[in-house]
Structure 1
């Protein structure tokens, strides 16, 4: 089954940027594009004007919005196959999670911090990212195709053992190959408390020559199968001491896309994404892809 690139459209400038981003990605990957609208988000002026036929107005507004977005994309990408759907009625996360499950990836718009770069991620967005079985890409207003053509890398965070970041690395390499871009793989490390050392870990570090060489070897091992699978993708290895979120954000200005893995967990107040994903989603100046584990 061919999975489409899917974008959520709600009439905001952010979702328009996400739809444009998704259309470019669909063309690169030779995949169809699906535009979806969840809920019935009416402009405030239309809400005030609506009387007993509010539902009809909402339906027409959603249909017109999707048709206008489809037309704009068709003018930019004449050969791209585009479908549209209205999902659900209340703007809940579940229809978007379901749409993501049928997609190669789901692109969503997210509000920027105004003078500060980054995203404001609402509760629905967090639920979608935490629950989606496929990658979710957050795009903010102002994202332009020029940033993708400026020679910037696709930056991906790698942590843990090779299998821990395999899904994020696969997504980063696949995306970079489709764009003719390079991959910069970033691994952050920190000094553990002295009491965390064990004789076995000390022996391993001694064999590696210390903490930083050990981390470099771990990153190289994680990248080895993807270098072999994508031999034409240039790779830069970046190992730096610090928290993963801080290190990724320090190089995010040089990225056309920032890719992180997801470690969602359930709490008493709902789903929560991992701290690294949370940090970059709120502060990165470029689109951010959050990739669930394989």
Structure 2
């Protein structure tokens, strides 16, 4: 059996949106949905047995309500429930080892009004062994109640033709193909370092056009293996003379999913969330997929 889609819930509206997104994704993939609720005692506190029992009962009721609601909307979906006594981030990272995809809200009940991304989301973004999708409170696309809602909204892929990353590209192409939507590939570029110096104060339009044409050709060549691998995917590719984060945020304004990468450390499944991924997580309005890779 293929690996399930894992979703963390905590009773917050953002987590509920993430669970719904995860249910649609699991139905699309034809795999089970696994709901996880973590309710650890406060650090350093001694919680009496009856209080612990109440915490577990509250978690059980939340899981049951969520599972029943999703089962009503997705009757063919198999939903599994699990409780954990660990801290939420640790529990999700442990469970993600057996998952094909982890889906979380960008912030949960521990956040505050105006907080864009909570600590659990940031921790899983940097350390999850599988791809993670972060769902904002009101994602711009996929918000309908219909199980076919995943078929609207293009997928945006942040791509670097100078250093193509197979895992990230495969995830984006596969997502666009499964949803039968357009894939918008975005490559940001900058003027060559030698173009700005004490002797070159102005970049001519001719030079700019030449460099841009080179980037377009490089991007086209780099995408050729994936065009051949996913012939059913309609692709639009753009090179943008912008900072990568700004280019992706502009492109994702009407997107249903934005896909970026996270490089893992050679001797560890963990890694560092780069500045571009960090920026889009904090500022985009659509779901963001962070795909770990070793390249």
Give the Cα–Cα distance (whole angstroms) in 2 for the partners of residues 21 and 88 of structure 1.
25
**Corresponding residue for 2:280?**
280
Whether 2:56 is the aligned partner of 1:59: answer yes
Using the size of structure 2 for normalisation, the TM-score is: 0.82
Structure 1: gaps of 5 or more residues: 43-49, 198-208
Give the Cα–Cα distance (whole angstroms) in 1 for the partners of residues 271 and 12 of structure 2.
25
Give the Cα–Cα distance (whole angstroms) in 1 for the partners of residues 107 and 236 of structure 2.
31
Give the Cα–Cα distance (whole angstroms) in 1 for the partners of residues 41 and 229 of structure 2.
44
**Corresponding residue for 1:128?**
124
Shift of 1:95: 2.1
Give the Cα–Cα distance (whole angstroms) in 1 for the partners of residues 245 and 113 of structure 2.
21
**Counterpart contact for 2:104–2:135, Cα < 8 Å:** yes
Of 64, 72, 88, the match for 1:75: 72
SS at match of 2:184: strand
Shift of 1:124: 2.6
Give the Cα–Cα distance (whole angstroms) in 2 for the partners of residues 171 and 159 of structure 1.
15
Structure 2: gaps of 5 or more residues: 198-208
Of 95, 101, 109, the match for 2:91: 95
The structure with the largest strand share of the pair is: 1
**Corresponding residue for 1:6?**
6
Using the size of structure 1 for normalisation, the TM-score is: 0.82
SS at match of 2:192: coil
**Corresponding residue for 2:166?**
166
Show structure 1 runs of 4+ deviating over 4 A. Answer: 112-116, 146-151
Shift of 1:263: 3.1
Give the Cα–Cα distance (whole angstroms) in 1 for the partners of residues 68 and 276 of structure 2.
37
**Counterpart contact for 1:103–1:134, Cα < 8 Å:** yes
**Corresponding residue for 1:30?**
30
Give the Cα–Cα distance (whole angstroms) in 1 for the partners of residues 258 and 132 of structure 2.
12
Give the Cα–Cα distance (whole angstroms) in 2 for the partners of residues 265 and 160 of structure 1.
22
Counterparts in 2 of 1:196 and 1:239: CA distance versus 1, 3 Å: same
Give the Cα–Cα distance (whole angstroms) in 1 for the partners of residues 38 and 156 of structure 2.
31
Over residues 197-241 of structure 1, what are the superposed CA-to-partner deviations in whole Å (9 max), with x where a residue is unaligned?
A: 9xxxxxxxxxxx832122212221232111111111100001111
Give the Cα–Cα distance (whole angstroms) in 1 for the partners of residues 119 and 183 of structure 2.
31
Q: Which residues of 2 match residues 1-294 of structure 1 at below 5 A?
A: 1-40=1-40, 53-91=50-88, 93-111=89-107, 120-143=116-139, 145-146=142-143, 148=149, 151-161=152-162, 164-194=164-194, 210-263=210-263, 272-293=272-293
Give the Cα–Cα distance (whole angstroms) in 1 for the partners of residues 241 and 36 of structure 2.
41
Counterparts in 2 of 1:52 and 1:33: CA distance versus 1, 3 Å: closer
